[in-house]
């Protein structure tokens, strides 16, 4: 393995460090990872919800809110001041069997339950087909359902949607999978991939539902679909003013009216004033700057302006913010340091959004939703970049502080609240339990565990999840062993580009797990099919980072009953009679793959790029603080890798059931560090106590009884003499 790092411009590092007030080591790491533009840095350093994208930028979000509120109907205040629906419509929520689908279903279901509405919850049981199917729509019709809400599915459910239309059942879709070419005839279709207006197309379904919870809570504030106006006046000279008027609906600027007013009286001046007066007529008006702004607006417009002063209202919430004028804020506040050239409109909109979203109680479902949205994002391997980082950070905070009581109680039953939860803890200890429920054909157990308000029932369900995960682990191991020879033969047959597995008795819930493991082990496209009956089969696809499954779906779409997916994962249902043709198509498909691309990739795998080379005096609290500052870590934002030269080896032992791992003790400066090198027993013979080693490592906080830090080794070599 060749150790490499990216060359960087020291002046650029200095600039980043000064502009964003960050450690030079952090600036170095971000520059090397290509995450050094202001927007990237915002999402890496900030965790405030106000920096999240506006949910109403998602197409049809307002339509979804209107239809859901109509389905809930009129409400009355019940005991304890809670609002309860009087006569709601019959609603069915259709989810998926994986962790993202289960958490999404729980999030939207909890919203309805809070208002006394009990929706029918429909997850695929056993080997049932995924998503909204004609059979599910028929069930909905038979039970009197008038609204179906799909979460984590529905983007390609053309046949089922057409049947729902025939039955006069409205359909709302909250999804994140790739979408088809033809539009869906539904009430609302919320998917970040529908257009480029919403800048983050890498949301999980749970994160899409989180956005919906914000929109639904916002609809109860009185500001939903309300046309407000933000005004700001500045004096350019004697009797010379500039007025900016922003029309805002659902936290989005719909139109801008910038007008310059010069002189005390003229036809033109009166005309310009009239434009603004008509623009604001009948609207709620918001200003920032109190009496001074009110006076300037009065002088500029020739009439008194009655407005909400955002500065006064934000004073108690953000005292450090509200002490400055708008111009001073743009210059001094960190809120605006992430834009190259912040405009007055940016500042006004941000302050307006801060004001309208400051009441946590009114947005309670939204804030409770961060816990499960985080679990869904991590489970679906969504990139831990952009706004996903803020959602995950806030979700971890919520999980550790117990914002969502039901989820916290479930974690407690599973003994996962003994230490602060991290993405690593969730990925290894909690998410597999939720996934196991679906993989074993019983996703309702995990769903009930997340929704149950009964402590005893929830504890029993938690134990069922543990048992199911044990069964899943054993079953997966058995199938993995039994498929070994077939996988190797298939890998060779498809020129090391793909592995094709097709088995009659393979449980449908294990196809994704096995496909994912094949893709990792063989570093290729994996297609795993479970034959459900004499007529149909279900498949899961997984691929490495440089391979998108969408082209393969397109290549074979005429064979599929239904299909869907996103970048590195997908699935489909196919008639058994078309399986031989599918294998032919796979062969022609892999033959079209660019061989050079794969060769280059294999060459690159001999290199490992590290984030920074650290001398011993830096490998202390400073390095640890940098690791913690840049958390959370996950897909496409992996843990930091450091190159540490000339560490002294003090101990080396083999650990694990088969002694497959290495545990080392090393001295770095005057500090002793424990190191784990997974699956590296073959390198034990290279070690000799007392020698100096160069190491590539990650710093990881230990869980369980010991709360210190240890190193995960990636590679080691005998120390170079010139270090």
Tens-digit pLDDT profile for residues 178-193: 898 889 999 999 999 9
Q: Are 204 and 72 members of one domain?
A: yes
Give the side-chain half-sphere CA count within 13 A for 162.
Answer: 6
- Among residues 572, 604, 636, the one where a domain terminates is 604
Model confidence at 598, pLDDT cuts 50, 70, 90, reads: low
Give the side-chain half-sphere CA count within 13 A for 621.
Answer: 0
Which range has the worst mean pLDDT, 54-68, 270-284, 533-547? 533-547
Q: In 3D, which of 280, 277, 185 has the Cα closest to residue 230?
A: 280
Total domains, the chain: 5
Q: Are 626 and 588 members of one domain?
A: no
Q: In 3D, which of 49, 638, 196, 608 has the Cα closest to residue 383?
A: 638
Residue 190 lies in a domain: yes
Distance CA 3, CA 497 (A): 27
- Among residues 392, 427, 461, the one where a domain terminates is 461
Distance CA 409, CA 450 (A): 9
- At residue 87, the 3 state secondary structure works out as coil
What average pLDDT is seen over the chain? 92
Give the domain extent around 148.
55-221+362-461
Q: Are 33 and 105 members of one domain?
A: no
Q: Are 514 and 632 members of one domain?
A: no
- Structure tokens of 493? 């047959």
pLDDT exceeds 90 at position 705: no
Residue 476 lies in a domain: no
- Structure tokens of 499? 């592995």
Residue 296 lies in a domain: yes
Distance CA 657, CA 400 (A): 33
Q: Output phi, psi for 283, to 5 deg.
A: -105, 155
Distance CA 18, CA 147 (A): 54
CB of 284 within 8 A of CB of 230?
A: no
pLDDT exceeds 90 at position 704: no
Distance CA 481, CA 654 (A): 25
Q: Are 84 and 206 members of one domain?
A: yes
Q: In 3D, which of 363, 452, 362, 465 has the Cα closest to residue 407?
A: 452
Q: How far apart are the first and last CA of the chain?
A: 18
- Burial per residue of 429-438, b for 16 or more beta-carbon CB atoms within 10 angstroms, e otherwise: ebbbbbbbbb
Task: Give the contacts of 604 (CB within 8 A, at least 6 positions apart).
Answer: none
Residue 467 lies in a domain: no
The H or E element that residue 489 is part of is helix 484-493
Residue 49 lies in a domain: no
- At residue 634, the 3 state secondary structure works out as strand
Q: Are 428 and 508 members of one domain?
A: no
Task: Give the contacts of 163 (CB within 8 A, at least 6 positions apart).
Answer: 134, 137, 138
Task: Give the contacts of 669 (CB within 8 A, at least 6 positions apart).
Answer: 616, 617, 619, 620
Give the CATH number for residue 386: 3.90.1640.30
Model confidence at 721, pLDDT cuts 50, 70, 90, reads: low
Task: Give the contacts of 481 (CB within 8 A, at least 6 positions apart).
Answer: none
Residue 469 lies in a domain: no
- At residue 491, the 3 state secondary structure works out as helix
Distance CA 561, CA 390 (A): 38
Q: Are 177 and 73 members of one domain?
A: yes
CB of 614 within 8 A of CB of 662?
A: no
- Structure tokens of 487? 């996988």
Over its C-alpha atoms, the chain yields an Rg (Å, rounded) of 29
pLDDT at 129: 82
Give the CATH number for residue 703: 2.40.50.140
Residue 678 lies in a domain: yes
Distance CA 28, CA 35 (A): 10
Distance CA 342, CA 50 (A): 16
Distance CA 1, CA 607 (A): 5
Residue 474 lies in a domain: no
Distance CA 436, CA 443 (A): 8
- At residue 554, the 3 state secondary structure works out as helix
Distance CA 630, CA 28 (A): 12
Cut 0.75: pTM above it:
yes
pLDDT exceeds 70 at position 67: yes
pLDDT at 261: 84
Distance CA 586, CA 463 (A): 42
CA distances to 62, 305, 492 from 291, rounded to whole Å, are 35, 11, 77
- Structure tokens of 632? 């959370």
CA distances to 142, 157, 676 from 135, rounded to whole Å, are 11, 12, 51
Q: Is 407 exposed, middle or buried (0-12, 13-18, 19+ CB in 10 A)?
A: buried
Positive or negative: CA dihedral 63, 65, 71, 74? negative
pLDDT, tens digit (0-9, with 9 covering 90-100), for 102-145: 999 999 999 999 999 999 999 999 888 889 999 999 999 999 99
pLDDT at 604: 45
Please compute the mean of the pLDDT values over residues 559-581 and round it to a whole number. Answer: 89
pLDDT at 486: 95
Task: Give percent above pLDDT 90 in the chain.
Answer: 74
pLDDT at 116: 97
The H or E element that residue 569 is part of is strand 569-575
- Among residues 337, 356, 375, the one where a domain terminates is 356
Q: In 3D, which of 538, 527, 526, 528 has the Cα closest to residue 575?
A: 538
- Region of residue 36 (left: phi > 0; alpha: psi -120 to 50; beta: else): alpha
pLDDT exceeds 70 at position 165: yes
Q: Are 575 and 510 members of one domain?
A: yes
pLDDT at 706: 54
More confident residue, 707 or 238: 238
Alpha helices (H) in 73-223, listed in sequence order: 99-114, 134-142, 158-166, 205-218
Distance CA 366, CA 357 (A): 11
pLDDT, tens digit (0-9, with 9 covering 90-100), for 243-266: 999 999 999 999 999 888 876 666
Q: Are 284 and 323 members of one domain?
A: yes
Q: Are 518 and 421 members of one domain?
A: no
pLDDT at 596: 44
CB of 310 within 8 A of CB of 287?
A: yes
Model confidence at 600, pLDDT cuts 50, 70, 90, reads: very low
Distance CA 696, CA 641 (A): 7
Q: In 3D, which of 471, 630, 710, 587 has the Cα closest to residue 32?
A: 630
If you search the block for the tokens 């949910």, which residue do you land on?
55
- Burial per residue of 657-695, b for 16 or more beta-carbon CB atoms within 10 angstroms, e otherwise: eeeebbbbebebeeeebebbbeebbeeeeebeeeebbbb
Q: Are 541 and 493 members of one domain?
A: yes
Q: Are 242 and 298 members of one domain?
A: yes
Positive or negative: CA dihedral 565, 567, 569, 575? positive
CB of 356 within 8 A of CB of 395?
A: no
């Amino acid at each position: 393995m060749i150790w490499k790092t990216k060359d960087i411009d020291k002046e650029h590092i200095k600039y980043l460090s000064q502009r964003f007030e960050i450690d030079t080591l952090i600036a170095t790491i971000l520059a090397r990872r290509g995450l050094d533009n202001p927007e990237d840095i915002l999402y890496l350093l900030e965790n405030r919800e106000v920096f999240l994208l506006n949910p109403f930028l998602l197409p049809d979000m307002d339509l979804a809110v209107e239809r859901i509120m109509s389905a809930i109907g009129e409400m009355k205040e019940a005991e304890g001041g809670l609002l309860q629906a009087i006569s709601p419509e019959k609603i069915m929520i259709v989810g998926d069997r994986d962790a993202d689908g289960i958490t999404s279903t729980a999030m939207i279901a909890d919203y309805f339950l809070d208002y006394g509405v009990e929706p029918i919850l429909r997850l695929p049981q056993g080997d049932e087909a995924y998503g909204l199917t004609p059979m599910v729509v028929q069930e909905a019709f038979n039970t009197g359902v008038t609204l179906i809400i799909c979460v984590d599915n529905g983007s390609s459910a053309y046949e089922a949607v057409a049947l729902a239309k025939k039955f006069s059942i409205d359909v709302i879709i909250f999804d994140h999978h790739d979408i088809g070419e033809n539009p869906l005839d539904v009430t609302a279709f919320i998917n970040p991939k529908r257009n480029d207006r919403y800048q983050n197309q890498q949301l999980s379904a749970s994160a899409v539902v989180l956005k919906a919870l914000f929109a639904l809570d916002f609809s109860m504030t009185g500001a939903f679909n309300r046309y407000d106006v933000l005004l700001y006046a500045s004096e350019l000279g004697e009797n010379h003013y500039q007025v900016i008027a922003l029309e805002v609906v659902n936290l989005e600027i719909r139109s801008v009216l910038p007008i310059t007013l010069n002189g005390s009286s003229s036809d033109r001046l009166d005309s310009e004033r009239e434009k603004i007066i008509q623009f604001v007529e009948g609207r709620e008006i918001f200003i920032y700057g109190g009496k001074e702004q009110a006076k300037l607006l009065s002088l500029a417009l020739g009439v008194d302006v009655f407005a909400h002063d955002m500065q006064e209202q934000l004073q108690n919430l953000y005292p450090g913010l509200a002490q400055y004028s708008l111009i001073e804020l743009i210059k001094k506040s960190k809120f605006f340091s992430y834009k190259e050239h912040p405009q007055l409109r940016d500042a006004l909109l941000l302050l307006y959004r801060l004001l309208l979203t400051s009441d946590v109680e009114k947005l309670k479902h939204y804030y409770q939703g961060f816990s499960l949205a985080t679990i869904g994002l991590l489970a679906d391997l969504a990139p831990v970049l952009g706004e996903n980082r803020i959602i995950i950070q806030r979700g971890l905070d919520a999980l550790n502080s117990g914002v969502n009581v039901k989820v916290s109680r479930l974690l407690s039953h599973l003994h996962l609240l003994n230490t602060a939860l991290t993405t690593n803890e969730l990925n290894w200890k909690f998410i597999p339990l939720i996934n196991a429920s679906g993989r074993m054909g019983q996703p309702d157990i995990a769903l009930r565990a997340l929704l149950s308000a009964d402590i005893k029932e929830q504890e029993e369900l938690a134990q069922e999840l543990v048992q199911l995960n044990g069964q899943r682990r054993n079953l997966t191991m058995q199938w993995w062993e039994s498929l070994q020879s077939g996988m190797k033969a298939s890998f060779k047959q498809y020129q090391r580009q793909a592995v094709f597995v097709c088995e009659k008795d393979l449980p449908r819930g294990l196809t994704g797990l096995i496909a994912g493991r094949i893709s990792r082990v063989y570093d290729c496209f994996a297609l795993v099919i479970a034959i459900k009956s004499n007529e149909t089969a279900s498949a899961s696809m997984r691929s490495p980072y440089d391979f998108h499954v969408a082209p393969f779906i397109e290549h074979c779409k005429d064979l599929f009953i239904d299909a869907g997916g996103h970048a590195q994962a997908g699935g489909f249902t196919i008639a058994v009679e078309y399986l031989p043709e599918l294998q032919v198509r796979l062969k022609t498909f892999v033959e079209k793959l660019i061989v050079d691309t794969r060769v280059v990739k294999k060459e690159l795998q001999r290199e490992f790029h590290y984030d920074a080379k650290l001398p011993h005096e830096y490998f202390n609290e400073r390095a640890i603080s940098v690791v913690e500052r840049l958390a959370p870590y996950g897909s496409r934002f992996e843990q930091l890798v450091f190159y540490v030269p000339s560490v002294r080896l003090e101990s080396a032992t083999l650990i694990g059931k088969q002694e497959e791992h290495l545990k080392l003790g090393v001295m770095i400066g005057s500090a002793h560090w424990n190191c784990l090198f997974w699956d590296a027993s073959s390198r034990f013979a290279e070690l000799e106590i007392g020698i100096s080693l160069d190491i590539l490592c990650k710093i990881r906080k230990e869980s369980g009884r010991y709360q210190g830090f240890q190193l995960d080794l990636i590679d080691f070599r005998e120390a170079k003499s010139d270090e």
